[in-house]
Amino acid sequence: MNKITIESAPNGYRLINPGAVVIISVGDGSQDNLFSVTWNMPLRRDPGMLAILSGKRHYSYPFIERTGEFGVNIPGAEIVDAVLGCGRTTGSKVPDKFERFGLTRRKADTIKAPLVNEAVGNLECRVCQVVDMGASSLLIAQILAAHVAEDHFKDGGWCYDNGLELVHHLGGDKFAVSTREITPNKV
Ligand SMILES: Cc1cc2nc3c(=O)[nH]c(=O)nc-3n(C[C@H](O)[C@H](O)[C@H](O)COP(=O)(O)O)c2cc1C
Q: What is the pLDDT of residues 8-23, one digit of tens each?
A: 878 777 777 668 999 9
Residue 49 has pLDDT above 90, yes or no: yes
Ligand 1: which atom is nearest the Cα of residue 175?
A: 1
Ligand 1 center–CA 34 separation, angstroms: 9
Q: pTM of the predicted model, to two decimals?
A: 0.96
- Percentage of the chain beyond pLDDT 90 is 88
Element (H, E) at 63: helix 61-67
* 51 in contact with ligand 1, CB cutoff 6 A: no
Cβ atoms 36, 86 nearer than 8 A: yes
| pLDDT one-digit tens code per residue, 68-90 | 999 999 999 999 999 999 999 99
Ligand 1: which atom is nearest the Cα of residue 91?
A: 26
CA distances from 148 to 89, 134, 136, 145 (A): 27, 34, 29, 10
* 160 in contact with ligand 1, CB cutoff 6 A: no
* 88 in contact with ligand 1, CB cutoff 6 A: yes
Count of CB atoms within 10 A of residue 163's CB? 11
Residue nearest atom 6 in ligand 1 by C-alpha distance: 37
What residue ranges define each of the domains in the chain, with the CATH number in brackets? 19-178 (2.30.110.10)
Q: Which one of 32, 38, 99 would you pick to mutate in the ligand 1 pocket, going by the greatest count of ligand atoms within 8 A of its CB?
A: 38
